[in-house]
Amino acid sequence: MPIRSTDILFQLIHSLEKAEKRNFKLYITRSSANHDLKIIELFDALDKLSSYDEPALLKKLRSIQKPQLANIKAHLYKQLLASLRVLKSTDSIDLQLHEQLDYARILYNKGLYLQSLKILEKVKELAHTYHQDSFLIQTISLEKKIETLHITRSMKDRADQLAAEANEVNEKRTMITKLSNLALQLYSWYIKNGHARNEADEAGIIKFFNENLPTEYTHEPGFYERMYLYQSYAWFAFIRQEFLLYYRYTQKWVDLFDDEKMIEVEPGHYIKGMHNLMNAHFDLKNYKKLKETLEKFEEFTASPIANQHDNTRIQAFVYLNSAKLNRHISRGTFKEGLLLVPYIEQKLEEYYLFLDKHRILVFNYKIATLYFGAGDFDTCIDYLRKIINDQVDLRNDLQCYARLLHLIAHYELGNADIMEHLIKSAYRFMAKMQNLTVVEAEMFKFLQRSFYISPKKLQPEFEKFHEKITAFETSRFETRAYAYLDIFSWVESKVFQKPLDRVIRDKYLKSKRR
């Protein structure tokens, strides 16, 4: 994937839709002085560039000299945001609340205290409806300021009421902060390390969770408290590979949005919840529920809510297609899954400026897995090299599995001359990351030994190896060897001399008959 410019103005302009560009030009010509029309010249020039190139940009600008460029870029950036704010003011609850608070402050500064208080009452009503406690803090703060500095006689016992409201909101915000911190820190641990690798990792996570989980509530938990609580339990269970508990809390997470009618207010958190629910069904091999949830999510991705903003549209694309790839991997329909790859690659290219490296890493691994299952080991290796050579300090577990899958793909190609080097390199990396499970260690031993065994004797060795690792198939700390790289099925394909996709497909069909 090409390296893209990180110039913030260039990124902003190339994120705009046609309607947003048209609105900006109307806004700037209507609200700016003649000398500000230089920014339209700069806007048009940047819009036509495929990548940010300052020397080429200056050649296109007739009225702007190099010493002026920085100031005009800053002015254009500010005006673009101002035009978007006007255009998007009714798109979300928080923007509406911000706008109303601005009106209340303007009226207050004009000395129109009662009009300001009237707007603040409306803000409070809207904020209560959609659980926007952070806006309640600002609203009550301004109300207290007005009541302290001016005699409004707006209501009897006003001081006591405002004090009680302030205390209640403060208690709720304190609880929300604690729970959101816990959810964020657990998720951050997972992004860095993946699943718990051993008992020491698990003990550390349990200790951290228990020490930071709030247990005393002085009020009935609201929407955000419950959402962050469910997220915290979901990450806690997922890291520890307690997939049934993970499923229970991701289901609670999604149900909360349906019950409270909050999908439109927090679509990002809803999309993330659906993603984790689909992951839970995938990990539990609950194929029927995965199909149902995927269909529900696909329907949502076509809705106006999912397509209202670039952010939600891109998130919906990422998680929908990740789930689709998971479905093909779990069913053994690798070749069918590869039909999705050109579209995914196209969208990854289109959204590259807006995607974090973790998402790209995961897609590269899933696509590599599809090629491996389809028997195209060369292309599988190409995708794995993108992970191995990228040197990204994310998902140590996936970095390790990329190297192990890379090793097995070379084994399948019969590249005996480089196998010893690859085995040592992969083993050192996984040992350094303290990411080596018993199954993986046995895998390294087997691959290292197998190249010195004659083809006639190799089949019995595969059978012995299969028998040895089958004992670990239900071990919780060994399940990564099943979730990220189905080592068990790969060994079975060798033992029973069947293609890998056929082995996984048979398991899937057998599970459906239960």
Of 97-111, 423-437, 470-484, which has the strongest mean pLDDT?
97-111
- State mean pLDDT over 223-239: 96
Structure confidence at residue 1 (pLDDT): 41
Structure confidence at residue 435 (pLDDT): 62
Structure confidence at residue 508 (pLDDT): 87
Grade residue 156 by pLDDT with cuts at 50, 70 and 90.
low
Structure confidence at residue 192 (pLDDT): 82
Grade residue 376 by pLDDT with cuts at 50, 70 and 90.
very high
Choose between 171 and 434: higher pLDDT. 171
- State mean pLDDT over 391-402: 74
- State mean pLDDT over 383-389: 90
- State mean pLDDT over 89-99: 83
**Nearest CA among 366, 286, 367, 271 for reference residue 319:** 271
Of 84-93, 342-351, 429-438, which has the strongest mean pLDDT?
342-351
Q: What is the pTM of this model?
A: 0.81
Amino acid identity, position 102: D
Percent of the chain exceeding pLDDT 90 equals 44
Average pLDDT, the chain: 87
Spell out the domains of the chain, with CATH numbers in brackets. Answer: 8-87 (no CATH), 93-155 (no CATH), 337-514 (1.25.40)
| pLDDT for residue 436 is more than 50 | yes
Structure confidence at residue 5 (pLDDT): 54
What is the Cα–Cα distance from 181 to 31, expressed in whole angstroms? Answer: 42
Structure confidence at residue 341 (pLDDT): 97
Q: Summarize pLDDT for 260-319 with one digit per residue, the tens.
A: 999 999 999 999 999 999 999 988 889 889 999 999 999 999 999 999 888 899 999 999
Structure confidence at residue 213 (pLDDT): 94
What is the Cα–Cα distance from 52 to 62, expressed in whole angstroms? Answer: 18
| pLDDT for residue 153 is more than 70 | no
Choose between 339 and 507: higher pLDDT. 339
Say how many C-beta atoms besides its own lie within 10 A of residue 6's C-beta: 9
| pLDDT for residue 154 is more than 60 | no
How far does CA 52 lie from the centroid of its chain?
Answer: 27
Structure confidence at residue 474 (pLDDT): 65
Grade residue 43 by pLDDT with cuts at 50, 70 and 90.
very high
Of 90-94, 195-199, 336-340, which has the strongest mean pLDDT?
336-340
- State mean pLDDT over 409-421: 88
Say how many C-beta atoms besides its own lie within 10 A of residue 414's C-beta: 10
| pLDDT for residue 396 is more than 80 | no
| pLDDT for residue 219 is more than 90 | no
What is the Cα–Cα distance from 13 to 241, expressed in whole angstroms? Answer: 43
Question: Can you list the pairs that 139-147 forms with residues at least 24 positions away whose Cβ atoms lie under 8 Å?
Answer: 139/101, 139/104, 140/165, 140/166, 140/169, 141/166, 142/101, 142/104, 142/105, 142/108, 142/116, 143/117, 145/108, 146/108, 146/113, 146/116, 146/117
| pLDDT for residue 2 is more than 60 | no
Say how many C-beta atoms besides its own lie within 10 A of residue 490's C-beta: 21
Structure confidence at residue 3 (pLDDT): 41
| pLDDT for residue 434 is more than 80 | no
Range name among 54-68, 118-132, 366-380 with the lowest pLDDT average: 54-68
CB 98 within 8 A of CB 134: no
Percent of the chain exceeding pLDDT 70 equals 92
